[in-house]
Each structure stands twice: as C-alpha cells, then as structure tokens.
Structure 1
Amino acid sequence: MKIIICFSMPKSLLKFLFLLATAIPIFAQKKNNFDLICERTSSVTAYKDLPKAIKTADSLYMKAQKPSEKIKCLVLSSELYHHAGELKKAICYSENAHSVINKINDPEWMAVVTRLLARQYRQVGLYERSKKYIIKGLQASARITDFQKSNEAAGLLNQEMAFYEMEIGDYPNAIQHIESSLKYFEKISSYNENRTAAASYQLLGDVYFKLSNYSDSEDYYRKAERLLKNGNCTLGLVYNGLGGIRLKQKNWKDAELYLKKAEKIADTSRSLKLKKAVYSNINDYYEGIGDNFKASLYAVKYVRAYDSIAARNQSFAIKDSENPKGKDNKKNAQMNGVKNAAIVILSISLVGLFLFIRRKQKKQRSKLRNIIRTQLNMIGKRTHYPLKKSGDSEFSNIFVEEIDEKDSETDRRRNDSLMTPETESKLLELLEDFEKGNLYNNKGMSLSFLAGELNTNTKYLSYVINQHKNADFKTYINRLRINYIVDKLINDEKYRQYKISILADECGFSSHSKFAAVFKAVTDYSPSAYIKYLDGETRSDKK
C-alpha cells in the first residue's frame, strides 16, 4: 500500500479562503473590491470555469499594489494551477510568492507559502527540498503572534515533516511528528479542525500498516473516517487502507467493499497517487480471488498512473539538477550541443545500417521464396530438380561431399569417340530412373558403385554425367541428395523438427558439417535458415 496525500480542490480553496481571511490584519477590516474579486475567483469561478479563474488571478496580480495583495494573487494562481494538474506552473507561482515574502518578512504568509512549497515538492519527489521549506515554515510559525494561527501552521507543517520521514523509512520519527500535529490541532478551534486532525489519523494508519500493526492501523483509520465527509479525498485513502488490511487478512468480501468505496473517490479525484494506490490494491484483490482478467485491467490502470507520476517527477529532477551558474550553464550548453550532434550522427548511421540490412534481408528472402516455389512447382509436375550449371555464379563456391573415386576431364575426352549414340541414350535413361529413386543417399555411393548398378563402366558414366548433367560425379550426387532433403522438408513438416545431423544422415552425408556446407552451396542458405523460412511460408499460406 502506497503512503500518499491527496489534494481536493473544493476543500483546498475553502482553506485558502480561510487563510486569506485571517492571515493579515487588513483582512479583518471591511473588504475592498480586490479582496472580493479574489474570494469570488477562488470559491466560485474556479468551480465553473478554471481557465477563466486562472486568467482572473493573473489580472489581479497586475493590479495588486501592496505586497500582501501580490502574495495573495500568487498563492491563488498556484492553487489553481495545482488543481489543473500543472505542477510546474504551480511551483513557479509559489516560489515567486516566497520571494515577495522574503522582502517583507511576514511570518504568517511565510508559514502558508513554505507549507505549500513543501507539499508541492514532495508530490514531485524532491523530498530534500520539501524538507528545507518545512524547517523554514516551522521557524516562521513560532514567530506568529496569533495563538490560533501559530498552532494551526505548526500542526500542518508537522504533518508535512511526517510525510518526509515516511518517505525515507523513519517510521518512529514520522509517528512523533504526527502526534505533535494532533497536539497543535487540539489547541485550536476552526471549521476545518476535523479535516486536519483526520489527515493526521489517516497518516498514523498508514505508518502502522507499514509496521504490520494492523490492529492499531485500523483504529486510526476508523478515527479518521468518523471525522470525514463522503467524497473527501482523504477518506479515499482511509478506505484504501482498510481494504489493504482486509487483503492482508484474506478477507476478500470486506476488502471488496472498502476498495469499491476507495475506487469511487479515486475515479473522480485528480490525485494520481491516490489512483495508483487504489488500483494497486484492487489488482491485488483480483489476483487473490483468481480473477486474472480483471486483475490485468487494474494492472493497466496502475501502470498508467505510475507512468504519469514518473514522467512528471522526471521533468522536475532534470530541472533541479541544472547548474544555476551562467558560466557553467554555457559550458554545459556547449557540451550538450556536441552530445546532441553526436547523437544525431549516430542515429543517422544506425538508420542507414538498419535500412541496408533490411534491404539485404529482403533480397535474400525473395531469392529463397523463388527457390522454394520453383521446387514446389517442379514437385507438382512430378519431375526431378533441374541441376544448375557448374559455371553459374550462384554456385561458384560449391563444395561437395568427398567421394573416393575421381573422374577426370582426360578420361571424358578419351572416351568421347568410343561410346555409341545408342549406349549414351540408354545410359541417360538409366540415370533418369536412378534420379527418381533414392539410391544416391547410400553412404557407400561412388562412381564405381553406380557404374556397377547401371551395368556400365566408370568412363562411360563419367562422360554422360559431365556431358548431360553439367557437373562432375561428386557435384551430381550431392545435388541429388540436397534436392531429396529439400523435397522432404517442403512436403513433410516432421522433417523440419529433426536435428541437422539426422537430416545429414538421411541423405547419405558422413557428417553434419559437410551436409551444411553442401546445403548452403546449393541453396545459398544454411539448413536451419531454410527450415525457418519454410515454416514462415507455411503459416502465411494457411492464413
């Protein structure tokens, strides 16, 4: 369960109006037109038309004459931008208000603005900067002469300090600060006393939940619940906490009840952290009851909230890390320029390389597709594969399985005039029949072995193969073997599941490596690449 605070616009503006009404003595006097417009902008216009309220606040600042009026307008603008979700602008206006206060040294406004800055910086993850403003605010609250205002400011700032301690994991200190805030709130009486005390009880519930003390955690959540009204953002956190306790207890029925209440508030809230915490717990709930589909839906919601918070916080972290010194900024700018140029050049190079590889792969795929389809057409016509000429550039690197006996060009020429046309024709017919079988897969295949099978001599056989098959005996046999295994791979998908060594043995090769070398020489592809592409073609054809 995430420990967070949420910001509700209506309550925040009511509180702001209270501060406007009590922060400085002039507010107790008869209100002038400037004060009336400020109050109307914050309490009425903001509900109906937020952009108009922001524009009015900016116009009021331009008309402001006194420092207190300028501060009032800046704080109003900060609150409005905060409500709109534009935290950068909200912090900018708060910082400007802080600068004005430093000039007039007003402890009441200092306590108000430093707490506002502490909360805003905490919400974007800049905890040390938040702590700096909390300490400054506590010092200012001690100098406020009005007893009630002093105690309220100190109580709220102790709440903020508790958040800081919780973020760094120091829960005992967090408890001390929350208890201090409650003591300060007991000393005051105001219309928002219940709400501020409820926020402290809710925080205590979160801390004890973190400490796995679920009994005390629930007690504090219950105290907060009794002080809050329906729809309050803090109440959403209370219900989420109670639902988290029930999840730990595996009480799924009650967990669902509380989490539904929390979700109803979260869905209408602008607080990303509230949404994130609630969606996380609901995801855990559906995981617990085994509803994976709904669990996945809330996981997506959680990730969206998480990403939004991370993106917002990252932009502040980058801004915070910038060097404020002009000279260093100039140097950094130059370095950034060099880095950016290098990144652009590298990106262009990578894109070029990517396009080159894609183009090459496309050509290879096109070539392989043509080979496969040609083979499929040939198989459909029930004929043997055509054998490429050895002089073809595609096979200039051909490597063949070594076979014991070698034929020679000298023998071919010597026997050219000794064989009759009838013998040559008959031998061609026998070779056609030989190609239709699978005797060439015999591991003992050699020129003399085949000559014996065809009832001829090695010289005639060598001549006919060289003359009519456009290859020597080694290349001729190896191509027949590769065509055979390609036929199997195309027509029988089970062969694609075999190891390469089994395929090599199937078509008569003595080793995996020799088979792979010959296969690549004939097809220009390794056996594994060929099989992968065949599988892809099969899936494509089925679609």
Structure 2
Amino acid sequence: MKFYKFFFLFFITFFINQNLKAQEIINDSLTEKSYGYLIDSFYKNLKDTAIAKVYARAYLKKAEKNKSFTYKLYGNFLLSQYKNDYREFHVFCDSLIKIYESQKKYDFLIKIRSQKANAYEVKKLKNKALKEYLAIKKIINYYKNDSIYEFVNYRIGTIKLANKQYKGAKDIFNDILKKKKTNSNNPILTYKIYNKLTLIYSLLKKYDSAYYFLDKGYGIPYQYKSLEHTRTLLYYNAKLKFEEKKYDIAIKHLKRYIKFIIPDHVAINRLSYCYTLLAICYDKTNNYKEAKRFHYKVDSIYKKENIINPEIEKTYYFLIEKSKDENNLTEQLNYLNSLIDINNYNNKINQELNRSLSENYNKPKLISKKNEIIAKLQKKANRNQLYKLLYGTGILIVLLILIYQTKRKRNYKRQFLKLIEEEQNSNTVSFNNTTLTPKQDSYKISKEVSKTLLNKLDLFEKNKGFLNPEINLKKLANSLNTNSSYLSKVINQHKQQNFANYINQLRVKYIVNELKHNTTFQKYTVKALAEEVGFKSAESFSKAFYKFTNVKPSYFINELKKINSN
C-alpha cells in the first residue's frame, strides 16, 4: 500500500514539474513575439483564463527582459484583467506613485495614473477614472506635453459623454480641436474626436453639425484609415439615422456594421447595443417579429456575458410587455428581475437614479410589480400543487386498481390451469374446502350408524340428489331415515364442513366437470347454470363457484371457450 502511495505522489510531482517546464518553454517562445501579437492573443482568449494567463505572463516577461517600464506596467494590468480583479494592480500602482512622486518623475507618474484610470474604466468606475485623469492634468502643469494633454482631455470628454453630460463633453472635444490646429497633428485622435462629436450632435438633435463632423471623419487621409476607422464611421452614420428616426435607413446601416464586427471581447458590447437599436427600429416600423428576434438576442448576450448597453432597458420594456400579453408570469418575473438588476447597476455606476426609466417603470413600481407577480406565481403554484396532488392520487388509485386487476387475472389463470391439470391427471377436481374443527359432542354416534349414513351419502352423491333446489338438512335426513342432528354431525366430522358448504361444493364440482366436457353448458348464461345445479339465484351460484374455485364462473367459461377454439 505504501508503495502505491509513493508511486502516486511521484507521478503527480513529475506531472506538475513537466507542466511547469512546458509552461516555461511556451512563455520563452512567446517572448519572441511582438507586444501587439501578445495583446491581440490575450484579448482573443480572454474568456479562457488559462490561455489568457499564458499570454499575459509572456507579455510581462518580455517587458521585464527589455527593462521597459511602460510595458511592465501594462503587463501587470493584463494579469489583473484575466483575473477580473484589479485590487492588486491598484495597490501596485499606488506604491509606484509614492516612489515617483518623491522623485518628481512626471512622465512615469502620468503613465501609472493613465493605466490606473484605464483599469477603473474597464470596471465601469467612471468617477474614479475621472479623478485619475484630473490628477494627470495637474501633473501636466509641471511636465508640459501637448499630446498627453490632448489624450487626457479626450478621456475626460469620453467619460462625460458616457455620463450623458453632452454639453461638457462637446466643449472639451471642440477645445482639443482648436488647440490641435496650433500645437500638434495627431490624425488618429482627430478622427476619434470627429466621431464623438458626430454622436453628441446627433443626441442633441443638431443634425447639420453631426453630418459636418461625420464628413470630417470620412475626410481623414487614406494612410491613416483602418478597418476600425471605416466601421466606426459606418456605426455613427447608422446612429445618426436612428436619432433622425429614419429607421429603414438605420436598419440597413446597422446590418452592414454588424457584419464588420468581429465577435471578440471588445465588439460584444457594441454588438449588444446594435441589436437593441435594430429591435427598436423594427418595432417602430411595425415589424414585431424581427423586433422580438433582436430583443431576444440582446437578452441572450446579457445572460451569457452580463453586457449592459445604453438602450438595454428598452429591450426589457418590450419583453415585459410581450410576456404580459402572453400571460406568462414566469417570463415576466425573469425580465423584471433583469430590468431591476440593470437599473441598480446603472444607479451604482452613475450615482444617480437612471433618468431613462419611464413613469410605468420607475424603481418603486418595478419592485411593486415584481412582488405582485411573485404573489400571482405563488397562488398559481399552490393551485398547481393541489392539482398535482389530486392528479397524483388519481393516478395512484388507477395504478392500484390495475395492479389488483392484473394480480386477480393472474390468480384466475393460475387457478383455472390448476383445475384443468387436476382433471387431466386424476379425473377428479379438488376445491377449497371450508373446513370445520371437529368438536366433542355431548353424545356420540356409533361407528355402525356413521358408516351406514356415509354409505347413504355416497349413494346420494352418485344419484346427484344435491341438484334438487329444494334440498335441505331436514329433507335429506328424512330421506336417509335419520335425524338432522345425526346427519349434521356425520357431515361435520367426516366431510369436514357444514351441510350448506357440502351441498354447494357438490354442485360446483358437478358443474365444473360438465362445463369441461359438455360444450352445450358453455353456451348457458350464469343464471341458467345456477338453476341447472339447484341454486336459487345467479349471485349465490357465483359466490359459491368463486369460493370453491377462486375464479368467477364467467371467467372459467371464457377460458374454456378459448381452449376449444384453439
């Protein structure tokens, strides 16, 4: 036993070491790849944390090997991102900030705070990200850098836009454009600002200004255009048509844009948003079927990826109304729960009540509606429980009846075969006797008298005197020249049963034999058979027949007919 334990531990240790060595080899080979390749591979495999971890570690290892501060910082960010836990990264950044603040190394401080702000933005903590960018603006007073100034202001403008502070965002983006004319020339940042301004003016319903900046975006020099640039312009064009309520044109642009979206970690957010916009467009153009299909897609993404887009609440307004029309309380409750969760999330992120909720769907009413549906479902569940109980009881009763009937038929068959076999083997039929325990009487019958009476009873049986419907103990005693007491005692002691059972058993035995050999009798009714053997009613005959054979006369006759037909 010890040997097996040792072998098992050795095998596990060997396997782990080999795994670690293989991991090290993989990391070493990946460090030869470019930073861009490692980042792309990381995000493509972000859902598979084990693979994402490999690329994150390879990125960090490459950065340490090259002694690059910026890349090391980003490598640590990637390690936090695959875990989806940035607490260690924030502590790491704070420790670096203390070091470089004392050394007044502003370029390092800007990089650290930028990356820290990026981590906050990933977690949707926009206010904390904003604080970091404002801290960077203060640093810029000591460390003049126009490109960093533009970048920081761009991020602040983006956060304000996300918080629906359209005027503040617009002013920041326009200010960057004015300063860019005299300070620097960064076409990539410029076209991003054009896109943001297109969106803002469309939301402010200033469509002429929106189209002006959209055209500016299309006018970016060819050498700076990329696939991302092209598809983003297409997206903002679609969004502008949507805001103008040109829903048919918006549908075409949105569908074209969706074809461009690569289903990766970044695109899934925009995909969810586009599906909601498409669903709204179809709803506005009275295409309920397509509207429902795309709202379902949004719900599916939310459930799988927990993706919340800016218009997602409209998806759940639609789905709640649909389930209400279909009287589907369970679906209605599920959609209400999702809407409440989204509402709570938005309130937490924005630190204010979500103004997009309508009068019919403000938070207190949502909770009230949820409780109302839960109460209805509980009532329905209780009613269903009662129905199930009654249904289950009914099924149990039916099953018990079926089991009883099956068992009875099986017993009937067994007893029938027994009756047939006994007759074939010995030409006699044995019955279930209702026996009596012989009792000591106050007087005794001599052996000679008993023998005489038994001989007379044998003759009575041969002559089939028991078929006489008027026969009784007194009449039989008179015909045998004895008294009733003597005859009753002899039958009890020697036939082991009382007079009534004795006569009934003889009658049943007789009719069983007749039925087996005389097919004419098989055509008789039960009542006719009863009269044939001296019973006064079909009921008393059936009871006696069952008592001595364990089968009903009708069953016995039917089984005989089956044998004869074969």
Question: Which TM-score bucket, shorter chain as reference?
Answer: 0.3 to 0.5
TM-score (norm 2): 0.44
Q: Which has the larger radius of gyration?
A: 2
